[in-house]
Structure 1
Amino acid sequence: MTEARLIHLVDDDEAIRHSASFMLRHAGFRVKTYPDGVAFLAQVDAAEPGCILLDVQMPGMDGLEVQEELKTRGVAMPVIVLTGHGDVGVAVRAMKAGAVDFVEKPYAKQSLVDALTRAFERLEARRREDVLADEARGLVERLTPREKDVLLGLVDGQTNKAIAEALDISPRTVEIHRANLMEKMEAASLSTVLRIAFAAGIGR
């Protein structure tokens, strides 16, 4: 069984922190609570990755300001904002600033759980992409400088002949480099080579 997903709940209302924590733990999540945005920001740099459930209306530093500070620090955790009934304008501003969803208070349990589930799926997809990118970069790093030159030509859509002319080598030499790079990249086809190159950030 995988470890329960962690929610960082930031809300200045103690009653909401208590009731939401109870409800979310009952739904299978782990919850860490913070009484305001300042307290959360004081700990976020060392915090375990999870999803941030962020109240918009807080004294001192509101949710939008907290969101801006998270962006400045490069904190990539998905944010769901909690808005008061009718705060559509605030919700839109939060979404434009990068929030993945918003939930209106008073919220129904299922709507909140659904929003959190979507946010965690997004977070886990991003982690998978990061792993794939790291693996792709590792495969590309196996190549010699000349093989990388040939790979760049392939990513540009060039033929063996065009690559040969650009690098001032023979088409036969290009074929050899191409066969070697495909072996090193564990690719059985050109399409696989291109997928790995794109995942590694080459040609994008």
Structure 2
Amino acid sequence: MPPPPSGGNGAKVAAIVVAAVLVTGLIVGGVILTSGGGDDKPSAKASPSSSASSAAPSEAPSTTPGTPSDAPSGFDPSGSAEPSSPSVSRVPYVVLKPGQCFDHPHLSSGVTRVTTRSCDTSHDGEVIANATLTGTFSTELDIQAKAKGLCEKKAQERVRSIADGRTYYSYTLYPAKSTYDRGQSEVTCTITRSTGPGGAKLTEALPD
């Protein structure tokens, strides 16, 4: 774990990322959701024996304990599972704002930290919302579950408006427990086309 920040906005603190799978087929440990129309094949899948992997600050697959009553067509609770324990891989904590596009070191080998990009060029993801964690958490797994829950519905609603039939992922950036305990509580909700290096990229801003 990195040492506590000594002050100032430039201090590097750890963050964790979790990905909830929004796909057109069953992914063990993921959320099944399809954007409207089209018949594009999913660009990234997990094998039946493992959860869909997230590639970001601390790799940790996001999972879903239940099905929202207003989930879009294509959502299947059989793809849900309990969260697994986060790994220790971390990158500096960062908060991005809605509409910003970015590359992430666990999705692109050419960067070592979350790097903003023009939405008109190839990029890993786009921010769709921010949320704030509140309360007391005993473990990072607890933070993971809460952060995932804050972003999942936002991602479902956003993907519902995209009618291209492609596979999208809800990719959530949230603080590690030590970072949260120091007062950093903001969560960044994003959408990507993959959850690992070499996967599909976004090439323009998400459609309205």
**TM-score bracket, shorter-length normalisation:** under 0.3
TM-score, normalised on structure 2? 0.23
Higher RCO (C-alpha under 8 Å, 6+ residues apart): 2
| Structure showing the higher helix proportion among its residues | 1
TM-score (norm 1): 0.23
